[in-house]
Amino acid sequence: MNLAVFGDSWPVGVELNKGEMPFGDILHKKLGTKNYYNESQEGSTVDSLVLQLDNFANKKISDCICVFFITNPARYLYFENGKQKILRPTGDKSDLTKFYFGRVQSDALDYHKANISVLALQRMCASLGYKDYYIEGWTNINWKYVGIDKSKFLPKSATELFGADTNNKTLELVKFQNNEYISPNKYHPNSKGHELIAEHLYKFIS
């Protein structure tokens, strides 16, 4: 059995020190999987997961456990000259960013896009014969669309496991908070946080 992890900067391991491992690497060791593939991309969106999985499918890897990290659903994926671009609530102050988050973005739209993405992921994994599991980072999305298997989601989000705080305005983590699983980092878990995520995923998958 192989292991692949998809998502944003959290599974990438941003803000970890040299030699420290993101939760995917730790989970790989705990599960004893044959090969490990980290397909995550820093700053990506929930619907980026579909593109990540589609790209991974081209590698023709069989017998795979797939773990999808659900990031902030407010982030918006679009394309410019064929290249992926991301609008983020904590990103640049461009006119496009101001327009999207001032005039277009809403919780209803965010959750709609997230539900569609998970429906696609679960259908794709079923077609590929992959075992798929999901963990939310710092959100509690209502996975309500018909066909979504909610039993594949870790019962608690990562920040619920940490007891961490989120910023309601930016829909991201409160930066530089005094939390044993985050400090001294700005927006990402420390090694202890990654170990906690890996342990809960290991128990859930096992």
What the chain holds in terms of domains, given with CATH numbers, is 2-205 (3.40.50.1110)
Share of the chain above pLDDT 70, in %: 100
Rounded average pLDDT over 77-83: 96
Section 62-88 average pLDDT: 96
Confidence band of 162 (pLDDT split at 50, 70, 90): very high
- Closest by CA to 127, choosing from 73, 50, 71, is 50
Q: Which residues does residue 2 pair with via DSSP β-bridges, in sequence order?
A: 64
Residue 95 pLDDT > 90: yes
Mean pLDDT on 105-126: 97
> How far apart, in whole angstroms, are the C-alpha atoms of residue 206 and residue 195?
16
Yes or no: say if 71 and 8 are a contact pair by the CB < 8 Å rule.
Answer: yes
- For residue 72, the Cα-to-chain-centroid distance in whole angstroms is 8
Q: What is the pLDDT of residue 90?
A: 83
Half-sphere exposure (CA, 13 Å, Cβ side) for 116?
A: 10
Which whole-number Å values give the CA distances from 59 to 9, 37, 54, 85, 110, in the listed order? 22, 11, 9, 24, 30
Residue 161: predicted pLDDT = 96
Whether pTM exceeds 0.85? yes
What are 125-153's pLDDT values in tens digits?
A: 999 999 999 999 998 899 999 999 999 99
Average pLDDT of the chain is 95
The predicted pLDDT at position 173 comes to: 87
Q: Is the pLDDT of residue 77 over 90?
A: yes
Q: Tell me the C-alpha distance between 115 and 155, whole Å.
A: 17
